[in-house]
Structure formats: C-alpha cells, structure tokens
Amino acid sequence: MKRLILPSTLWFCLVALLALSSHAQAQQLPDFTTLVEEAAPGVVNISTSRTIERRGGPSFHGFGEQDIPEIFRHFFGDRFPVPPGGQGPGQGRSEERQSLGSGFVISEDGYVLTNSHVVEDADEVLVRFNDRRELEADIVGTDPQTDIALLKVDATGLPTLNLGDSDDLNVGEWVAAIGSPFGFDHSVTAGIVSAINRTLPRDAYVPFIQTDVAINPGNSGGPLFNLDGEVVGINSQIFTRSGGFMGLSFAIPINVAMDVADQLRDDGRVNRGWLGVMIQPVSRDLAESFGMDKPAGALIADLDPEGPAARGGLQAGDVILEVNGQDVERSSTLPRLIGRVAPGNEVDLRVLRDGREVSEQVELGSWPNSEEAGAGQPDNSQVRLGVAVREVDESVRDQLNIQGGVEVTEVEPQSVAAQAGIRPGDILVSIDQQSVSSAQELVEIVEQLPSDRAIPLRLYRDGRSLFVALRLQ
C-alpha cells in the first residue's frame, strides 16, 4: 500500500487553514459580554408580597387552588409543579404570599417597566438593583390587556437602558434576555427570534415576539435585547407542556410597551379604540361562500347596536379587510389595529359586503368598562371550539323548556368541536357544568377553561339532550 507523504510546509499550511476556519466560525457567533456589562445595572429584580385569606376548597398538588402564586399561574396554568414536601397550611387564616419577577429602568427619575401579572394584587413591591440597593415602588398603573405595569421608585440618577425599535426585528436575529429566573439575579440567556407578530389566546392586543431564549418563572418583566444592546421586548410568557422551558418564549414588543407606559404615566390608564363588534375568523369554506380568493379579514358575527360600528353603517356579515390602509390578514389582527387608534378618531375601513368591496368611515369609541358589549375582540368560543353561534329564538327555548342556550351556526372542519361531533343546528346549553345563555357567556366561559383535560358539554339535538366530551387546544 502506497502512502502519500506531504512536505512539512504543506502540513503546516493545512493546520493553519483549519485554525483560521475555526476562528472564523467562532467569530460569527455573537459575543454578549459587552452588552451584559453595560445593560446589567439597568435591570432590576422585583419582589412582591400580598396577604391572602386562606379558604376551604379542593387541594391541588398539596395546595389550595387559590394559593397557587400568580406568577406560576401565568407560566404553567393549572400545571403548577409540586414543591418538595409542599402541603397547604391550615385553613381559615391569613397568610403572606411572595413572588419574584424582573423589570428594567426606563428613566433616570425612577420609572420601571415590568409585567402586569408580576405585581397583580400586590400589597408591597420592592425593586432591587444590581448594586444591591432595595427601594419600595409605587404602582403607577397596570394594563392587563397587554400585561404591562409601570412602577415608580423614589430615586434619581438611575442607570437606564437604551430602547430599540421592535418593528425592525427580523426572524433569525440574535437576542438575549437578562432576568431573575427562580430568584437567580441577573441571569443571562440568549437565542434567536423565532417568529414575529405571533397571536396568543386571550392576548388580542399584543403581536408577540416569539424566541427560543430560555425563559423561566422570575424572568417575567425582564428585557429582551438585540445585539446593539437595545431593549426590543419585555419577556412575558412561555408555552409549556412539561411545566418547564421548552424552547417557546414570548415577549411584548417594546413599541407596544412604551405606548402603554406613556399612557399610564400621563393618565394612569390606557385609552384604546373600541369598534363594538364581535368577530370571528374567515374559514376556507366561508371565504369560498363570500367569493374570496383566500381566507382573510375579520368577519363581523354581531354588533353592539349602540356601538361605533353600528352607528357607522357596518353590518353583521361584513368582512373587514383593511384598517387605515393596513391589511387585516386574520381576525386577530383587527383588535391590534383598532386598539392603536385613540377614541374619538375616525378609521377608514375597507369592507367586503355582499360580494363587493366598500369603504366605510367609523369614529371609534372608548373601551367600555364592561366587556359585555363585544368590544372588538376575537370570539374565543369560535377560536378555541371552532364554532360560530347565535342566540336561540324564544319559541325554541319554550319548546325545549330551557332557560338559555346558543345555537351552533357553523362548525370549522378539523376543529375541537368537529372532533367532538358537534354539528350546525345543535343548541349548546352548558359547558363544564356552567350554563350558557348567550354568545358572550360562551366566550367568557371558554376563555377560562383549561386545555389539559376533557370538558363535558351538554347540548340539544333534534329535541333530545345529550353530552359530548371535548378537549380544548
């Protein structure tokens, strides 16, 4: 067997090339050391405490259900992990609960941004800085719709973070998070932007940034940075089936957060536009029936008769395709576009009606105190169940001897409802043993239902009552 013997100079060149190649590959990976060094002083740890009255009730993994800390509810829903030896204390007494989160300084005179759920129902909020200073904070205001809270500490000359433009983010871009997961202060994790403008259930007003940055309880409210060291988001939620991080984390875009923060600082509350419609997605079959090339837009299923949309000439069955020149790609896009416009301003709408596109102008109202008026949010009964419903005629109620109920008018193929055997014409009277008497009640009930167990649903079909079981997504 012949062997190829290379001159020593050639061996040296090959080794040098391999070394240069490895060095070049290493240089392509981001270095976060400077970012962390400069940004860390502006990132804070937030601890809250609140006093609760213990009540009797079913235990959950050794805890009364009402005793699960809110921060874990937000991350884990009803899948709260069992702490070692965790057993609920006795009933009928007061108890102090504490939770941890993160935040960051946005002004030298003491304004701090975090998540609304971090400080929800808190009796006391403490902000701890990188230099170990600990200051009590006042809650200037919260906006649960976007999960933003603005805090104020009595201090000046505080280190602040540079704010970026979340609209400039691109999928695949490197990002990093600094926070206090499980109380471990100023922990740094990194990853990439996985998606933008992501819609999550119950969060109609936030076009979330999805990343694979490791986020855990305690990271809530902390900043998400781009490679320039600018804050582009506020870490808010994770998706998990195991109770731990699974590579899916979600951040509130900083542009959305700062718009909310400015309103909280100026007015103590957020004013967002209200259209007064109940909407649902346009399915493929609906799109075909409307003569559309593809599913798009937000279908108006119902209107508040006294709301801005009704006064502006919109009708049930209209498909809203455009708001102020911006496409409504899907129904979940509409609340964001409407919510950005201040009440009292007009919006230009492009609407599909009876197979023709028409233009309408509507002056938006203010978000009502009650959510019963169909304030332009997606109908989550349609989204989660996959059904469209309408009120049941009084004569039908009398015939069936029922007090409430809603009639199914459409079932989306491959939806949860379709898999459970629900059909158009069925009358839903209860879900999870809760009576349903209106479309809005169905929305509210479905919003609160878990997705990790079978749910009983009672309905009437052809005058006969039956139960079906469904598992929500």
Q: How far apart are CA 225 and CA 284, in angstroms?
A: 39
Q: Which residues contact 308 (CB under 8 A, 6 or more apart)?
A: 274, 275, 276, 362, 363, 364, 365
Is 323 in contact with 349 (CB distance < 8 Å)?
Answer: yes
How many Å from the N-terminal Cα to the C-terminal Cα in the chain? 65
Q: Which residues contact 444 (CB under 8 A, 6 or more apart)?
A: 371
CA dihedral (112, 267, 275, 408) positive or negative: positive
Q: CA dist 15 to 20, 93, 362, Å?
A: 9, 72, 71
Catalytic residue among 47, 180, 187, 220: 220
Catalytic residue among 67, 143, 147, 302: 147
Q: How far apart are CA 434 and CA 421, in angstroms?
A: 20
Is 191 in contact with 251 (CB distance < 8 Å)?
Answer: no
Is 149 in contact with 159 (CB distance < 8 Å)?
Answer: no
Catalytic residue among 116, 117, 187, 283: 117
Active site residue 228: no
Q: Is the backbone of residue 42 left (phi > 0), alpha (psi -120 to 50) or beta?
A: alpha
29 DSSP 8-state letter: S
Active site residue 117: yes
Active site residue 143: no
Q: CA dist 441 to 203, 279, 437, 470, Å?
A: 18, 15, 7, 18
Is 445 in contact with 472 (CB distance < 8 Å)?
Answer: no
Q: Report DSSP letters for 47-101, one per residue.
A: EEEEEEE-----EETTEEGGGS-HHHHHHHTT-PPPPTT-----SSSEEEEEEEE
Partners of residue 391 on adjacent β-strands: 406
> In which residue are the tokens 């102020």 written?
324
Task: Give catalytic residues, as residue numbers.
Answer: 117, 147, 220
